[in-house]
A and B are shown apart, each in its own frame.
Chain A
Amino acid sequence: MNLLELKNITKQFGGLTAINNLSFEINEGEILGLIGPNGAGKTTAFNMISGVLTPTKGKIYFKGEDVTKLKTNIIAQRGICRTFQLTTLFKSYSVFDNVLIGCHLSAKTGFWGNLLNTSGVRKGEGKTQEKTEEILKFLGIEEIRNELAKNLPHGYQRILGIAIALAAGPELLLLDEPMTGMNNTETNDMIETIRKIRAKGTTILLVEHDMKAVMTLSDRIIVLNNGVKIVEGLPAEVKDNNAVIEAYLGREQDFT
């Protein structure tokens, strides 16, 4: 069964067509890779799926529901969460608090309950704290819980970005270049982490320039170029496709 479906999506910025008549589906439980050269429109696609931008044309369906025009926070409520290409965190909060804020959707957020600190609210907050602990442990960052997000090394910041998104409890997780700026060991750890997230039943849409990582992780891959889908297929098929090689030609990509 498909979890997400994009139908004839077009996005224009003034005269520029960033996405042109793009359609694809994501099946429940899979890791779908979305690749393409710089400026291909990958992040723009993310922005539309997560409700940050509205498509100029076309529809987006999540579990059969038309979510094209829903606001970002409602889309998160429905079960789609994302990370950002440029690391985006609650910078002056601790790692623990970042993830705790991420638990917003499962927290008790009523005004009077919080003001009076009712037993219901205290119980709810206890649960979100437990959930936060679980996520920190799951991603192996429990020992840096008290560090401020802004003081973390880049690799940990990328992981924290994912931790915040996971705290919202998504069914579909969109990862925008999670391996950016990571060394070999960190990249391999991230590959393991993404596998673990999927193993827990979360469907993943992965944008990544590190070809080795995309090829090992993805069940299927979609290649974008200039806003158009040029190829869709299994990693092995995409790797040897002439159109793909051409799109990347001259771009010094490590295409192995």
Chain B
Amino acid sequence: MNRKHYTKNFIILGTIAFLLIIPLLSSDPYHLQVLMVLLLNIILAISLWVIMTVGQLSLAHAAFMAVGAYTSALLVMKLGLPFWLAMPASGIMAAILALVIGSITLRLKGAYFLLVTFAFGEIVILIFSNFWESLFGGVSGLIGVPPPDPISIPFIPQVRFVSKVPLYYLALSLTLITVLTIYRLKNSRLGLTFGALKEGDLLAECIGIDIMKYKVMAFTVGCFFAGIAGSLYAHSFVVVTPIDFSFYHSVYILIYVVVGGESSFLGPILGASVLTLFSEILRKFGHYESIGYGIALILVMLFLPSGIISLLERIIVKVQELFKRIKG
């Protein structure tokens, strides 16, 4: 038990250390670009996972990301707010919207809620592409979103977000904050309560749990981080178009969680990482990308029904056995 934890912590710390030094290993902007997408996908997957812990599926996650992206970009471009205020504001905007939508629709279960989130996502994209064009920029979206403002941190030179490297570190910091926050939540009583709702609504209600309150809470927290991801996306990649946040994107986020392993905290993180890299590799093969992706998904679901994380756990156990044998 303890040994397993050591190995796990070792892997986690090793991964973080590796992510920290990557810009020293490769100065290829393409590599950093892929890694930033990977980090964004981790934020999106782990925040969708929060919603899934209460037993709900959402196909609006990319739409909430869009709300964050547009909020942040417009606050900076139209009102001249600094990025460092616009970013939290974009998370709060997505959270408020989630609070309102969730309070109305989270009564619905299973496919019904899924379809409502699908419809909501489509409406959001429709509004961004067809309404208030002078504000949202229509189908071509917002162009020239400025990078984050320079910041001064004691003891190091002023950080200017002119190259990919500082943007990468920003993405990494936000990812770590998101992951740690959600990890705390998961290990608190709230995490236990969230899980209880998924296991049995009725029993939870009968012991005094206000199930709507906690479902709305989980949904709001999840969407808050989707909004933050949107802000990070907008200011890292300069251009924001409605199509970036279509329901396909939401489906991909869902796939990261499911393929990674829904039942474990590390599952969505692993799923987002592996699949982002995988689709980057497949990209070279043009049309075959989606075919290869589809086949890989089917294989994982058939042979690893609890996600890729279960494979990792098995490998850890094998490695430990090996070590034991070498020692003994």
State the A residues within 8 Å of B (CB): 50, 52, 71-73, 76-77, 81-82, 84, 88-93, 97, 100-102, 104-105, 107-109, 111, 114-115, 117, 121, 125, 128, 164-165, 167-168
Known contacts A90-B199, A90-B200, A93-B199; A109 and B190 CB within 8 A of each other? yes
- Judged by a CB distance under 8 angstroms, whether B126 is at the interface is no
Say yes or no for B208: interface residue by CB 8 A criterion: yes
| Residues in B neighbouring A89, C-beta threshold 8 A | 199-200, 203
A84 near B208 with CB under 8 A, answer no
* Chain B residues packing against A (C-beta within 8 Å): 181, 184-185, 188-190, 192-193, 195-196, 199-200, 202-211, 217
Q: Which residues of A sit under 8 angstroms from B211, Cβ to Cβ?
A: 73
Contact residues in A for B217 (Cβ distance below 8 Å) = 111
| Contact, CB under 8 Å: B199 / A91 | yes
In the bound complex, what is the Cα–Cα distance between A114 and B221 (angstroms)?
Answer: 13
Decide yes or no: A115 and B205 within 8 Å by CB, A88-B200, A89-B200 being known contacts. no
> What are 13 A-B residue pairs whose CB atoms fall within 8 Å in the complex?
A92-B199, A93-B195, A100-B192, A101-B193, A101-B207, A104-B209, A105-B208, A114-B185, A114-B189, A114-B190, A164-B207, A168-B206, A168-B208
Out of B192, B195, B200, B205, name the residue touching A76 (CB < 8 Å): B205
What 13 additional pairs, Cβ within 8 angstroms, besides A100-B192, A104-B193, A117-B184?
A52-B205, A72-B202, A82-B206, A88-B200, A89-B200, A89-B203, A90-B199, A91-B199, A111-B217, A115-B190, A125-B189, A164-B203, A168-B206
Identify A72's interface contact among B184, B195, B205, CB under 8 A. B205
Q: Say what secondary structure dominates the interface of chain B.
A: helix
Per a CB cutoff under 8 Å, which of B199, B203, B208 touches A77? B208
Q: Which of A52, A117, A164 has the most CB of B within 10 A?
A: A164
**A114 and B207 contacting across the interface, CB-CB below 8 Å:** no
Cβ–Cβ < 8 Å partners of A109 in chain B: 189-190, 193
Which residue of B has the minimal Cβ distance to A92?
B199
Is A81 a contact of B202 with CB atoms below 8 Å? no
Most A C-beta atoms less than 10 A away, residue of B184, B200, B208, B217: B208
Cross-chain contact B207 with A88 (CB below 8 angstroms): no
A-B contact count (CB 8 A): 87
How far is it, in angstroms, between the C-alpha of A23 and the C-alpha of B199 when the chains are bound? Answer: 35
Residue of A100, A111, A165 contacting most chain B CB atoms (<10 Å): A111
A residues within 8 A CB of B185?
A: 114-115
Q: Report which of B192, B205, B206, B209 forms a contact with A97, defined as CB distance below 8 A.
A: B192
User: Once the chains bind, are B207 and A121 in contact (CB under 8 Å)?
Assistant: no
B192 in contact with A115 (CB, 8 Å): no
> Using Cβ atoms and an 8 Å threshold, which residues of chain B touch A101?
192-193, 196, 204, 207
Rounded to whole Å, the gap between the CB of B107 and the closest CB of chain A is 12
Q: List chain B residues, Cβ under 8 A from A71.
A: 205
Across the interface, name the chain A residue whose C-beta is closest to B181: A115
Give every chain A residue within 8 A of B208 (Cβ-Cβ): 73, 76-77, 104-105, 168
Q: Which of A52, A81, A91, A125 contacts B207 (CB 8 A)?
A: A81
Q: Is there an interface contact between A90 and B193, defined as CB atoms closer than 8 Å?
A: no
Tell me which residues across on chain A come within 8 A of B190, comparing CB atoms. Answer: 109, 111, 114-115
Considering the complex, give the chain B residue whose CB is closest to the CB of A168: B207
> CA separation between A108 and B193, bound complex, in Å?
11
Name the distance in Å between B59's Cβ and chain A's nearest Cβ: 25
- A92–B264 Cα distance when bound, in Å, is 13
Report Cα–Cα, A105/B196, bound state, in Å: 14
Q: Are A121 and B188 in contact (CB under 8 A)?
A: yes
Give 6 closest A-B pairs by Cβ, nearest first. Answer: A76-B208, A114-B188, A72-B205, A105-B208, A90-B199, A168-B207
Whole-angstrom distance between the Cβ of A109 and the nearest chain B Cβ? 6
The interface residues of chain B lying within 8 Å CB-to-CB of A76 are 205-208
Asked whether, in the complex, the Cβ of B195 is within 8 Å of the Cβ of A90, the reply is yes
Q: Quick check: B188 and A104 within 8 Å, CB to CB? A: no
Chain A nearest Cβ from B183, distance in angstroms: 11
Cα of A108 to Cα of B202 in the assembled complex, Å: 21
Chain A hits for B209, CB < 8 A = 73, 104
Output the least CB separation between A77 and chain B (Å).
5
Asked if A90 contacts B206 (CB within 8 A), the reply is no
Q: Given that A111-B217, A115-B181 are contacting pairs, would A84 and B203 also be in contact in the complex, using a CB cutoff of 8 Å? A: yes
Known: A108-B189, A109-B193. A165 touches B207 (CB 8 A): yes
